[in-house]
Amino acid sequence: MATVAANDPMLPQPHRVRQVVKETPDTFTLTLEPSDGAGSSPFRPGQFSMLWVFGVGELPISISGHPAEPDRLVYTVRSVGSATHAFVGHEAGDSVGVRGPFGTGWPVEAARGRDVIIVAGGIGLAPLRPVIYEVLHNRNDYGRLVVLYGARSPRDLLYRKELAAWARQRDTQVLVTVDYGGLSWRGHVGVVTTLFKYARLHPARSVAMVCGPEIMMRFVTRELETHGLARADIYLSMERNMKCAVGFCGHCQYGPHFICKDGPVFPYEQMRPLLEKYEL
């Protein structure tokens, strides 16, 4: 009989749900900790895990917690299908299987000494939150932090208290917009690209990290280039249907790349020709 190695990437490690926080009407943040009391594997901002919802299925979800706190894994999940619905329905104490972390991370090391521009759309803020934590945790190692965040409506905004807290940090500019605002909304209304005119950017010394729906990223990269950012300084997080997470199954193939293994974070220059292809 074949034995299974403890570090087999296909073997889920049992974790327990520690906390569930409702972020928006359909989006929840779950904090997990290893059931055996041992620490989880350290992760890099931008990496993802495969989460087993026992009896339902497995989900690829970006880690949205603090990289300096690897003893707990944090995931923000939008309930859009049966597996995500089951996942966000967990309660404290429930068991979940975790594989990973997998994939490439955001270039936080390469960004040291430079300004960091974060552009997020919708749930895309979740995979970028660890970068914000990393920059604020090592504040003197980075230049200016600019966060541009767009959501569908005020009630769909993630991490509202944190956004306000980040905006109060030194050398940090946080701009938030919504596509549809009610009369009680006092903030910006318009797509995320409309925030660029209010951002104080220094393109020559900046690295931009972008995550959101692909079409939004296409418009954002154009805007970044218009504002003088070099293509080589722009990074995107891509999403496809990830299954095995280790590049075996091919479900997440995107052109010549496997999103799970070669990504999900890619240099824009690598993604640019693919982003312009129809129906890819």
Partner 1 sequence: METLEHILAEHPFFTGLESYYTSLLVGCAANVRFNAGTYIFKEGEEANEFYVIRAGKVALEIFAPQRKPIILATLGEGEILGWSWLLPPYQWKFHARAVEDTRALALDGKCLREKCEQNHDLGYEVLKRFCQIVEHRLEATRLQLLDVYGSRG
The amino acid at residue 123 is: I
248 binds partner 1 (CB under 8 A): no
203 binds partner 1 (CB under 8 A): no
d(CA 3, CA 33): 26
Smallest separation (angstroms) from partner 1 to the CB of 211: 12
152 binds partner 1 (CB under 8 A): yes
Please say which residue, 111 or 216, places its beta carbon nearer to partner 1. 216
Please say which residue, 3 or 184, places its beta carbon nearer to partner 1. 184
Q: Which stretch binds partner 1 (CB under 8 A): 53-61, 116-124, 132-140, 240-248?
A: 116-124
Please say which residue, 195 or 229, places its beta carbon nearer to partner 1. 195
Tell me how far apart the 2 most distant CA atoms of the chain are, in Å: 66
Cα dist from 153 to 45, 157, 165, 191, whole Å: 26, 7, 20, 11
215 binds partner 1 (CB under 8 A): yes
193 binds partner 1 (CB under 8 A): yes
Site string for partner 1, 79-108 (x = CB under 8 A): -x----------------------------
Site string for partner 1, 218-237 (x = CB under 8 A): -x------------------
Q: Are 13 and 34 in contact (CB under 8 A)?
A: yes
Of residues 182, 228, 250, 255, which one binds partner 1 by CB under 8 A?
182
- Residues 6 or more apart in contact with residue 102 via CB below 8 angstroms: 9, 47, 48, 49, 50, 60, 245, 246, 260, 261
User: First and final CA of the chain: distance in angstroms?
Assistant: 42
Tokens 């329905």: give the residue: 89
Q: Are 254 and 274 in contact (CB under 8 A)?
A: yes
Smallest separation (angstroms) from partner 1 to the CB of 54: 26
Please say which residue, 131 or 216, places its beta carbon nearer to partner 1. 216
**What DSSP string describes 196-236?**
GGG----GGGEEEEEES-HHHHHHHHHHHHHTT--GGGEEE
Please say which residue, 5 or 200, places its beta carbon nearer to partner 1. 200
Please say which residue, 198 or 248, places its beta carbon nearer to partner 1. 198
- Residues 6 or more apart in contact with residue 152 via CB below 8 angstroms: 122, 178, 179, 180
Q: Using CB under 8 A, list all residues that contact partner 1.
A: 80, 121-123, 150-152, 156, 179-183, 185-191, 193-194, 197-198, 212-213, 215-216, 219
